[in-house]
Amino acid sequence: MTAVTVGQAFQQGLAEEMEADDRIFVLGTDLFIRGGHFAQVKGIGPRFGHDRVIDTPISEAAMVAAGVGAALNGMRPLIDLNFIDFAFGAMDEIANQAAKSSYLWGRPVPMVIRASSGVALYSAQHNNSLEAWFMHMPGLITVMPSNAADTKGIIKSALRSDDPVIFLMHKRLTGVRGEVGGPDELVPLGRAAIARPGSDVTIVSSGIVVNKVVKAAEVLASEGVEAEVIDLRTIFPLDAQLIEGSVRKTGRALVVTEEPPFASVASEIAAMVQEEVFDYLDAPVQRVTAAHSPIPHSPGLMEALIPQVETIVSAVRGSVERWPSTEA
Amino acid sequence: MINEPQIINEALSETHEQLAAADRPSEDGLLEIDISGLPAGELVKWLEDMVLIREFEEALEPLTLSGKIPGSVHQASGQEAVAVGVVRALRPGDIVASPHRPHHHALAKGLTPRAVMAELWGRATGCAGGRGGTMHLIDFSLGYFGSNGIVGAALGIAMGAALAAKLRQNGQVCVGFFGDGGANTGRTWEFVNFATVEKLPLIVVCENNQYAVETWIRREMVGGTIAERAIGFGLPASQVDGQDIAAVYAATVEARERAAAGGGPTFIEAVTYRYRGHNTGEVINYRTEDEVEHWRATRDPVERLRSSLERLGQLRPGQFEEIVAGASAVVQDSIEFSESSPVPDPATAGDRVLVTPFDEKGLA
């Protein structure tokens, strides 16, 4: 099995599903020839034709409305917004139309909105972390894979789901390589994964941050602290069972995300852990997030605002030192 | 009593009355319509549809004010010819989506008065099981793709449904309604542009009833008519008398033929008028009673069709009164049905948010 990039994994998963289900089409800007800003659908246009890969004007409301209406009328659209920041221009269509139809009318909207997300270059207006916005909105599923295999497996599940799915691909993961599964290997929505087993502290993260956490876990292991790293994969519905089971075992939890801290995914998980497994905790649940700040252009400024391997390591060290484990 | 209109935009020097007088047809009596091009055998049924809508809408004010219908609703009394004229030009599998003033579209599309009324009452027997209310009516089986609470949004749903119809090549034509208020939201023109570029089988119907809530279109839009604005997007666009069912029908028939033949969307601005306020219970101080009465006296869509049918001998003496009595009885039945219908089970209030299972912790 050969390793492919995250972008290629997405293309593979999409193409396989498009072959299997002619209701799936892709719609967005600069897709057919360019393949999108991240080459995320490169080659899909020529392969499937203009009825399956539809280029649009820069009209985000129209793009998502086209998806909602088409989904209600029997299709399974994948709407590509390029950057998740562009969802601001289509927020009514996402939050008030796509997310409400199942509840109000009993007809779900089987639509995937794919967008690149996460903190990378190009400053404040292209680097909003909106996963908590979507998590907050009843009627949406939000996913955020961290590697090639999950990207392929989750896009396949998303395209088969009857619910609207926000599919967030971290910009800095686009070219990262990994092995992927075959046409019949799906990664279910709503299921997290253990990226690294451990016994001393549970560290929850998603997307590219998982890679930083795994590196931090290696540093911690050299100091005698074994971290269990949980890769959320799906932001909502949360895999509470896996997280809680891990914290019962380790007695310590840390959530690491690239988003601003207030009313965040990290806050939600921290609240859930203390509500559900308080008795098992040796220490308060910690959050390591980005600052409450827009993202700047200059790389040094940008990196200063988001979690790094060292900040994750020192957060765990600080927890262990201040609240040592109490062995039963 | 005549209320003084309140002019809030001082940048425009003409008064409401000066502009309204310029808009006003000079005729005093009921303006005749030409129904010679309409399918003669069906017109009494069309009239029945319009009368049913009028009776339905006129019954709602006391029901909302007494609290039997929770909240207020948006009535379309006066706009019947737009709904019936458009829908009668469609085929059964065609799709309609409505904005927040939707009862006339829904009833014209075949939803029963019981299903709509019970939905307004929030009852389990309503077309959305009591979850939607006036702004979220639904019946996919009838091609009614919902009323919508957000200005302009229904056009987007119709546009997307039209994209599906084009891709599936199933012959459906879709109609998206919006109002004069929706002509000033940017998304409307995103939808019109995309539909035109993609030659979607869409009929864009702007129901210009002159007032966006309390804001007169003449105070918030310059540069010509809404239809003239649409012309710039490169699709056929025309303004029709929305109080003339023959004109609405003819424009829609032409638009439907164009859409079905792959000729893309058409824009129809139907100039109409609502007799009631924006919502039930509204105190109207932004237009004069004189203005309302003038529209009723010269252009009432029900009276114009009735008058034409009587003139041509297609409606016998007393038949109109029978139609009104019949419609009134149907509406009364829908009220009794709603009153006796069960409320939805509170235990189901959080159901169906997603198809994918999750619990209160979010666990899949």
Q: Where are the domains of chain A?
A: 4-178, 193-320
A193-320 folds as Rossmann fold (3.40.50)
ipTM: 0.95
Asked if residues B159 and B174 have their Cβ atoms less than 8 Å apart, the reply is yes
Asked if residues A146 and A206 have their Cβ atoms less than 8 Å apart, the reply is yes
| Global pTM value | 0.94
Its sign, for the CA torsion A178, A181, A187, A191, is: negative
Among chain A residues, the shortest Cα distance to B139 is held by A105
A97 and B157 in contact by Cβ < 8 A?
yes
Minimum distance, in Å, between the CA of residue A68 and any CA atom of chain B? 6
pLDDT digit string, tens, across residues A97-147: 999 999 999 999 999 999 999 999 999 999 999 999 999 999 999 999 999
B160 and A59 in contact by Cβ < 8 A?
no
pLDDT band at residue A170 using 50, 70 and 90 as cut-offs? very high
Q: How far apart are CA B340 and CA B334, in angstroms?
A: 10
For chain A, the straight-line distance linking the first and the last C-alpha, in angstroms and rounded, comes to 46
- Partners of B194 on chain A (C-beta within 8 Å) are 56-57, 59, 62-63, 66
Q: How far apart are CA B265 and CA B259, in angstroms?
A: 6
Identify the active-site residue in A37, A126, A170, A292.
A126
pLDDT digit string, tens, across residues B278-302: 999 888 889 999 999 999 999 999 9
A4-178 folds as Rossmann fold (3.40.50)
Minimum distance, in Å, between the CA of residue B139 and any CA atom of chain A? 8
Q: Give the per-residue pLDDT at B25.
A: 58
A56 or B359, which is more confident? A56
pLDDT digit string, tens, across residues B5-32: 444 444 444 566 665 665 665 566 999 9
Q: Give the per-residue pLDDT at B11.
A: 40
Q: Token pair for residue A94?
A: 């996402």
- Partners of A61 on chain B (C-beta within 8 Å) are 156, 186-187, 190-191
**Domains contained in chain B, CATH given:** 38-348 (3.40.50.970)
- Partners of A189 on chain B (C-beta within 8 Å) are 356, 364
- Partners of A51 on chain B (C-beta within 8 Å) are 167
pLDDT digit string, tens, across residues B302-313: 999 999 999 999
Q: Give the per-residue pLDDT at B23.
A: 61
Among chain B residues, the shortest Cα distance to A188 is held by B364
Residue range A264-293: mean pLDDT, rounded: 97
Q: Give the per-residue pLDDT at B20.
A: 66
B364 and A234 in contact by Cβ < 8 A?
yes
- Partners of B197 on chain A (C-beta within 8 Å) are 57
B353 and A141 in contact by Cβ < 8 A?
no
Q: Give the per-residue pLDDT at B151.
A: 96
Residue A231 φ/ψ, nearest 5 degrees: -100, 110
Active site residue A136: no
Domains A4-178 and A193-320 share a fold: yes
SS3 for B117? helix
Residue from the list B95, B128, B168 with its beta carbon closest to the beta carbon of A104: B128
B253, HSE (Cβ side, Cα atoms, 13 Å)? 12
Q: Token pair for residue A216?
A: 């931090």
pLDDT < 50 positions in chain B? 1-2, 5-13
Total CB pairs under 8 A between chain A and B: 163
Q: Give the per-residue pLDDT at B10.
A: 43
- Tell me how many degrees the CA angle B94-B127-B275 measures, rounded to the nearest 5: 80
Q: How far apart are CA A156 and CA B104, in angstroms?
A: 42
Q: Give the per-residue pLDDT at B171.
A: 97
Helix and strand element counts for chain B (H, E): 14, 8
